[in-house]
Amino acid sequence: MPNTVPPEMWGDGPSELPQNICISALLEAQNLTPALQSVVASCPGGWAITPAAANFLGQLVGQLQPKSVLEFGAGSSSVVLATALSLGGGGRLTSLEQSPRWCVDQWALVQQQETVDAAMIVTKPELGWGRLGLYFWYKSAVQALAARAPFDLVLIDAPQFFFGRDGALPLIYPYLNLNALIVLDDAGRDDEKAAVARWLKTYPGLTLVYNDPDFCGKGLAVLKYQTEAKPVLSYPSFFSGVKQTLDNLQDPELRQLRLEQARNEFSLAHQCQEVK
């Protein structure tokens, strides 16, 4: 059944997002409710989020009290975010996902949260270019995403490493509320480290508030949309973004993985669909 709880039913969250959130304290905190704790413990890691990252997301939702959360990559993280939103009185969860088949069970759990207005936007990474040089981004999701904006919290956990994650920022930057937080999973990978460096130079409103490249063997970074500032063109970022994507496009192993992904997705409609 679609979740259609209107925003006025989402509980009393703050009208402005809190400015000072101590990320390292939240990473260590272990005071989730039993219901959320059991969702966190069931996160398997691997392609899905780890229990430690899930615990952090649960803590973060409790502290930030976001009204609207966006995630790149649905799955276990969606269940954590939806449960945490629901415990805080409700909210909106928007998930960008390329392969809804891979997370059918998790999405069914998300839809059980009656106070969460959840929508999965089915989309796929496409090659584009802009201030960050060349990058894969969810171009077909632009309109559907705009209709669900603005966002207080964003989790970037997709697309897969063989596409790269640079393209997340061009998509979301116009739709961030002031003091919104962006959590990047897998931030320990070289491509993600380089992406964060390019984001910081290109989007001057962003500040890196936490960065542990060794977190759970995957890495975790948190950025904050701290000041309202327009994107700028940084030539070093532009050229390094072009080089990184050209290198990845030519890498035979990464190319093979992208081709396999495309073959697996052959039955998926090319247009963006929204699943409520």
Ligand X SMILES: C[S@@+](CC[C@H](N)C(=O)[O-])C[C@H]1O[C@@H](n2cnc3c(N)ncnc32)[C@H](O)[C@@H]1O
Q: Contact positions toward ligand X, by CB under 6 A? A: 47-49, 73-77, 97-99, 102, 157-158, 160
123 versus 240: smaller Cβ distance to ligand X: 123
118 versus 202: smaller Cβ distance to ligand X: 118
Residue with the shortest CB distance to ligand X: 75
Distance in Å, CB of 114 to ligand X, minimum: 22
* Other CB atoms within 10 Å distance of the CB of residue 24: 10
Distance in Å, CB of 249 to ligand X, minimum: 18
* Three-state DSSP state, 147: helix
Distance in Å, CB of 235 to ligand X, minimum: 31
Distance in Å, CB of 47 to ligand X, minimum: 4
How many angstroms separate the CA atoms of 253 and 37, rounded? 38
How many angstroms separate the CA atoms of 166 and 191, rounded? 9
How many angstroms separate the CA atoms of 24 and 210, rounded? 8
87 versus 93: smaller Cβ distance to ligand X: 93
Of the candidates 121, 116, 27, which has an alpha carbon nearest to the alpha carbon of residue 66? 116
97 versus 152: smaller Cβ distance to ligand X: 97
49 versus 231: smaller Cβ distance to ligand X: 49
Of the candidates 114, 54, 51, which has an alpha carbon nearest to the alpha carbon of residue 78? 54
95 versus 240: smaller Cβ distance to ligand X: 95
- Residue 82 structure tokens: 């939806």
- Contacts of 194-200 with C-beta under 8 Å, sequence gap 24+, read 194/240, 194/244, 195/132, 195/164, 195/165, 195/166, 196/221, 196/223, 197/237, 198/132, 198/133, 198/166, 198/234, 198/237, 198/240, 198/241, 199/132, 199/166, 199/169, 199/223
How many angstroms separate the CA atoms of 49 and 70, rounded? 15
Residue type, 63: Q
Distance in Å, CB of 12 to ligand X, minimum: 28
78 versus 179: smaller Cβ distance to ligand X: 78
Distance in Å, CB of 265 to ligand X, minimum: 9
Give residue for tokens 């998509």. 171
Distance in Å, CB of 26 to ligand X, minimum: 18
